[in-house]
Amino acid sequence: MNKPLRGLYAITDSQLLAGGRLLPYVAAALAGGTRLLQYRDKSADAARRLDEAGALAELCARHGAALIVNDDLELAARLGVGLHLGQEDGSLAAARARLGEAAIIGGTCHARLDLAERAVAEGASYVAFGRFFNSNTKPGAPAATPELLEQARARIARPIVAIGGVTLETAPGLIRRGADMVAVIHALFAADSAAEVERRARAFAQLFAT
Ligand SMILES: Cc1ncc(COP(=O)(O)OP(=O)(O)O)c(N)n1
Ligand SMILES: Cc1ncsc1CCOP(=O)(O)O
Ligand SMILES: [Mg+2]
């Protein structure tokens, strides 16, 4: 059964999750209530990427969460999971045609409602705006203001994801303004233990409880 796209959207980071931390930290994030997980790995090691994404797909299935692969349509198709595409990553319409109606496919819209409208027309399941705050992971991403979320809410008939510098302190304002999901890397995974990741994930998830 399809679950609504609402809640914590965790994104992996190859540096933060190096040294054997990928699976235990992701398992902890899922135990804490992560609803969507994105596998974001920019390396060219296709075999490792397939192994890791396959292991994450199993973990997600165990926790009733959905896996999204960043950038890589072929890997998403091979595993039968979702996909996130940026503006330079290929066509959302082609991804929809390849992955089918049931797949979760998201598109980066930076701070632009016109990009979001186009993403919806091309078949996106959700639209992602941001970065909203200073981002440790992607400091150069185009900046968006939280007010954009209110405008998007009024115009875009798809779940809205907010990304970029999202922390336990900044997330509530984004959710209040209309974000259905917050996508988080650093504030979730830059942690000294899996137990701390689980505690943070639970706190993010709790923000959506009302
Ligand atoms: C949920 C979510 N939103 C935005 C992005 C950024 O995608 P993109 O602009 O393609 O940049 P990279 O992540 O590929 O560096 C994302 N990955 N996830
Ligand atoms: C991939 C991406 N796109 C816009 S900001 C960002 C990084 C988000 O990471 P963090 O939560 O560490 O700011
Ligand atoms: Mg991309």
The whole-number pLDDT of residue 2 equals 66
Q: Which CATH number is correct for 7-206, 3.10.20.340, 3.40.1190.20, 1.20.59.10, 3.20.20.70?
A: 3.20.20.70
Answer whether 0.90 is exceeded by the pTM.
Answer: yes
| CB distance 6 to ligand 2 below 6 Å | no
Cβ(86) to ligand 1 under 6 A?
A: yes
Q: Hey, where are the domains in the chain?
A: 7-206
- Say how many Å lie between the CA of residue 210 and the centre of ligand 3: 32
3-state secondary structure of 156: coil
* Mean pLDDT of all residues in 200-209: 98
Torsions phi, psi for 117 (to 5 deg): -65, -40
Q: Which pLDDT belongs to residue 102? A: 98
CA of 96 to the centre of ligand 2 (A): 24
Q: How confident is the model at residue 10 (pLDDT cuts 50, 70, 90)?
A: very high
Which residue's C-alpha comes closest to atom 4 of ligand 1?
A: 108
Closest ligand by atom to 87 CA = 1
* Any ligand 1 atom below 6 A from CB of 128: yes
Q: CB count, 10 Å around CB of 126?
A: 26
CA dihedral in degrees (68, 204, 172, 174; nearest 10)? Answer: -10
The average confidence (pLDDT) of the chain is: 97
7 Cβ partners below 8 Å, 6+ apart?
A: 33, 34, 35, 36, 181, 204, 205, 208
Q: Give the model confidence (pLDDT) of 82-126 as tens digits.
A: 999 999 999 999 999 999 999 999 999 999 999 999 999 999 999
